[in-house]
Amino acid sequence: MPDIRPFRGLRYDPLKVPDLSAVLCPPYDVIEPDQRARLAATSQHNGVHIELPVAVAGIDSAAAYGHAARLFAEWQADGTLRRDDRPLLYLHEQRYALAGGGELVARGFLCRLALEQFGPASGVRAHERTMAAPKADRHRLLSEVRANISPIALLYDDEARGAASGALLDRLTQVRPDAETIDEAGVRHRLWTLDPAASQDAADLLALAARGPLTIADGHHRYETALRYRDERQRESASGTAGAAGYVLALLFDARTGGLTVMPTHRLVRDLPETQALFAVVEQLFTIIRQPWAEDIVAAMGQTTVAPGEWGSGRLGLWTRDGGALLEVDRSRVGDVLPAGVSDALRGLDVTLLAACLERLVGRSVPDLAAEGRMVYTKDPHRAVEIVDGGQADAAFVLAPTPIDAVLAVAAAGEQMPEKSTYFHPKAPTGLVFNPLTE
């Protein structure tokens, strides 16, 4: 079972930072360069200065991580950041708009999670493969700053389809929040501090989430980086223990009622065969429904859902500069190209189907294509079409969302989906609570 516990978080002092919206930023891997510059200009204390170090005047890229560590230390020394006086949980609520209208509420709580290697008996499960470059970047930052700047999001299952968790969260959010703000994306954030030693509901919530394994939703690269950092600190320690480095900042959501939306990440591929040859190979695995307009493909994929009992929709959207198509999988034709010896959940995923199709098409695996710069990802299907039409890619593959049940099933089987199989929304912001690892 996972080891989760309250901790003494490091937070912005409201007397020093009265406008919390000025210091919040998204996690590092979704910040665009122009957004990074805009956030940095908003406040000298914006979390982006630590979360995403970059070369600035007088500081080159190699020294940027050390500069971030110095800033983080200065903020603590001058009282901009203050440590809570006792171990707490931090209940976080996000109210966010849906693309088609309406509003959803995501609720989870921040805590410390003991790091564990993945395995059959582990209390922490992964669902997605990672890439070397992001882990190297995060390791340099963690080694310099010696704190978790942004949380890893994980899912727990209360075994009551979210009813037990939801009831506790309803009661805990009836009081006035300790902090409240709206970020630049229009997401409303509220934060409550909870002391499990003084609140039975908080203690029950902590115990409920710790009943079974946790599945990483977002933050695989940071989790694996934290494991590496823990092992390094343990080897360096005279006592042979990692201390606070044995834990990582975690934001836990109920898998069924936590309020997160799973969105697809679309694929762009270049250096493919010319369009006729591309469709000839695709036709071996899919039924092709030609579509002359990209907007129709994007609209159709946006309405595509996964049937009950299925792990994927069995449909992909394809757009090239010579037109596009909806691709309907023919299960009788794909069996020999799908990975053998894996769960039905992994074999049934749309991203697995696409990976198999691409490997047959170009003779290269998806990780190889990404490493060679021949595959990139975007969460915006309209942007994917623009990139193809602009000549920067040969094809865009538009996907439907991966269902949450598939995420849990693949993780429970000890397997991992291809990179960028899921995009959980909304992202937890950097700046609400930091987790120092120096004690």
pLDDT digits (tens, 9 = 90+) for 156-167: 998 888 899 999
- Predicted confidence at residue 58, as pLDDT, reads 65
pLDDT confidence of 57, banded at 50, 70, 90? low
- Predicted confidence at residue 55, as pLDDT, reads 67
Q: What's the Cα-to-Cα distance from 373 to each of 162, 370, 408, rounded to whole Å?
A: 41, 5, 30
- Number of structural domains the chain divides into: 2
In a domain, 405, yes or no: no
Do 156 and 231 fall into the same domain? yes
Summarised one tens digit per residue, pLDDT across range 385-420 is 999 999 999 999 999 999 999 999 999 999 999 888
Do 257 and 275 fall into the same domain? no
Do 216 and 322 fall into the same domain? no
Do 71 and 58 fall into the same domain? yes
How is residue 25 annotated by DSSP? Answer: B
- C-alpha neighbours within 13 Å on the C-beta side of residue 327: 26
Give the pTM.
0.92
Do 103 and 223 fall into the same domain? yes
Do 252 and 378 fall into the same domain? no
Q: Is the pLDDT of residue 72 over 90?
A: yes
Averaged pLDDT, 34-54: 95
What single string gives the DSSP state of each residue in 42-92? H-TT-THHHHS---BTTB-GGGHHHHHHHHHHHHHHTTSEEE-SS-BEEEE
Secondary structure string (H, E, C) spanning 155-196? EECCCCCCHHHHHHHHHHCCCCCCEEEECCCCCEEEEEEECC
Do 225 and 295 fall into the same domain? no
Q: Which residues share a beta bridge with 249? A: 112
Residue-number span of the structural domain to which 30 is assigned: 4-261+425-436
In a domain, 408, yes or no: no
Tell me the pLDDT of the chain averaged across its residues: 92
Do 380 and 238 fall into the same domain? no
- Predicted confidence at residue 131, as pLDDT, reads 85
Do 190 and 283 fall into the same domain? no
Q: Is the pLDDT of residue 251 over 90?
A: yes
Do 21 and 105 fall into the same domain? yes
CA 190 to chain centre: 20
